[in-house]
Structure 1
Amino acid sequence: METIRIAGVEKPVSRLIKGTDYFRHSDYETAAANLDAFLAIGGNTVDTARIYCGGESEEVLGRYMEERKARDRFVILTKGAHHDERGPRVNREAIREDLLTSLEKLRTDHVELYALHRDDPNVPVGEIIEALNEHIEAGRIGAIGGSNWTWQRLREANAWAEAHGLVGFAFSSPNLSLAKANEPFWPGCVSADRETLRWHEEAQMPLLSWSSLARGFFSGRFSPVRRDDPDIVRVFYSDANWERLRRAEQLAREKGASVVQIALAWVLNQPFPTCALIGARNAEELRSCREGMNIKLTREELDWLDLIAEER
């Protein structure tokens, strides 16, 4: 499988990243089979978070790695400092609490990739960078990133880190998909707009996209007249996205691929390093994603799919 490199991580990072936000103890065998199949297609990077399934996602992953003696085969991306019912938690104490809890649940002493699940613009970036660097120096984290951080805050944080001789953010993880979000799927979430993409191209910062397939928008399950999923309607239903879907269907026919594979290829053919978080739950879906990863799109095809050419 194709990989990218992220500063601070010795292992290559697979361009397909396995989502685990549905991993629960009650269905452990299914989760284990998913991970077996993911390793079988050459994947090695998994995405989890302190809050997923009340902590069960990390626990299931930790159990699997221990039982299979497979920790060395994985690059772990986990996330912390998500807000709670009292509000934002992007501070030194919350980062430490969440990270140490995650490591315990994952049954490991370090993670290769650690992202802040949310940002709090009221907290100076220097305080955040200093807090994260403590854990890098302690060997608990390889590389740090921002999930749902704007490119402006990432740039500010990295400028501060460079000025103070500290390690800055090595990756970003917003939503990026061919279908554009009308509004955040969850409060505080960030979707990559064209300014974000221009900055990533200039900075060449790796982008690890969540909801890279727009939560099934390209699966054939949705149409303008079908409105039984209010969240998908709210976030992804628009005339522009239906046109993007139509163009993906056309290009899929021309290339002998599926529409989902074209949508995935759009994410993975950006002019900067990208990975796609995928929710594939069986071996067939995983193999299909790997085939989509191998599709090459030109800059002209990327722009045509995204309706950019008409706007110039």
Structure 2
Amino acid sequence: MKFIDVNGVQLSRLMIGTGDIKKWNGTEMLDQFIAAGGTTIDTAHQYREAEKIIGQWLRETGNRDRVVILTKGAHHDDGSPGARVTPEAIAKDLSESLERFGTDRIDLYALHRDDPAVAVGPIIEELNRHLEAGTVRAIGASNWTYSRIQEANEYAANNGLKGFMFDSVNLSLALAKEPRWEGCVSADEATSDWHKRNQMPLLSWSAQAGGFFSGLFSPEDRSNAEMVRVYYSDDNWERYRRTVKLAEEKGVSPTQIALSFVLNRPFPTAAIIGPRSASELDDSLKAMNIELTREQLEWLNLERGEIAE
């Protein structure tokens, strides 16, 4: 396993997502992930039962000091109606998450959504209160645009506070044509350029584009409306064809190539994966060892017409 640092927190570059934890029929997947060297678990206050299941697992296994918890709060569709990206909502969601986990700190805490109508100042001030209290170790933004993160971090710098330390948006080889869910943000070229300049870690959700490179989809099969809406495009199918070709040459799977693309950016990245079986988890773990050249990365992303020999 490989790791990156976020404000002193060492997190595994493969992170296991728990949005579908209730479909796992137990917590064996978490056990397998930890046994394979993974440390970082992605969840959210909005996932409701997931945090409780993780908390029970932590108590039963005694794994709290072995794992890094990334959880999120202040989602616009979580709890009482009305504004949710507020100091009050952040404090409420964080307190409830801590109770569900049965812990006194969250390693990585992110705001699950943004509300551009809300000033960044009070938000940064609230997050800094929790940093100072030790209830969170690092703060980040999930599904915020890079310009809003920049605005928040400039406010922090001008007021002697700490700004966002990581970003979590969708980054994958297959480019999303539109948000997969309301309020979601995908990394476009400008976002990637900003991360390259600032070297802020990007923790990608849907790093494998919902299984687009698994071979389960084709241009002719339009039965999965969400996949068609988000990922079906001529460019993405060309990316898929190139991924299959390179995977055959390297003797690996296309999903491993697609995941390796995310892990080989010119800025720190980690990938949130959602394995549905032990074999899918093993497939993702093997992607950590794949080396891709700059020319291969550009070719996969349609930035060059020919791959270097």
Report the equivalent of 2:105. Answer: 110
Give me the identity figure in percent: 57
Q: What are the equivalent positions in structure 2 for 1:228-243 lying under 5 Å apart?
A: 228-243=223-238
2:273 equivalent to 1:278: yes
Instruction: Work out the CA distance in 1 between the residues paired with 2:294 and 2:146.
Output: 22
2:131 equivalent to 1:136: yes
TM-score by length of 2: 0.96
Deviation at 1:86, TM superposition (A): 3.2
Instruction: Work out the CA distance in 1 between the residues paired with 2:277 and 2:28.
Output: 8
Deviation at 1:8, TM superposition (A): 4.4
Report the equivalent of 2:59. Answer: 66
Aligned counterpart in structure 1 of residue 18 of structure 2, from 4, 15, 20: 20
Unmatched tracts of structure 1, length 5 or more: none
TM-score by length of 1: 0.95
SS at match of 2:203: strand
Contact 1:280/1:286, CA 8 A, preserved across alignment: yes
Q: What are the equivalent positions in structure 2 for 1:52-91 lying under 5 Å apart?
A: 52=47, 55-84=48-77, 86-91=81-86
Deviation at 1:87, TM superposition (A): 4.5
2:153 equivalent to 1:164: no
Instruction: Work out the CA distance in 2 between the residues paired with 1:193 and 1:81.
Output: 24
Q: What are the equivalent positions in structure 2 for 1:89-238 lying under 5 Å apart?
A: 89-238=84-233
Instruction: Work out the CA distance in 2 between the residues paired with 1:235 and 1:75.
Output: 31
Alpha carbons of structure 1 residues 246 and 88: separation in structure 2 relative to 1, 3 Å? farther
Unmatched tracts of structure 2, length 5 or more: none
Aligned length: 303
The runs of at least 4 aligned residues of structure 1 exceeding 3 Å deviation read 85-88
Contact 1:41/1:286, CA 8 A, preserved across alignment: no
Amino acid at match of 1:3: F
Amino acid at match of 1:60: I
SS at match of 1:78: strand
Listed one character per residue, the Cα deviations across residues 110-152 of structure 1 (whole Å, up to 9, x for unaligned) are 1100000000111111111001111111111000000001011
SS at match of 2:281: helix
Higher mean C-alpha deviation, range 157-166 or range 236-245: 157-166
Contact 1:16/1:278, CA 8 A, preserved across alignment: yes
Aligned counterpart in structure 1 of residue 43 of structure 2, from 48, 53, 57: 48
Instruction: Work out the CA distance in 1 between the residues paired with 2:56 and 2:181.
Output: 29
Report the equivalent of 1:5. Answer: 5
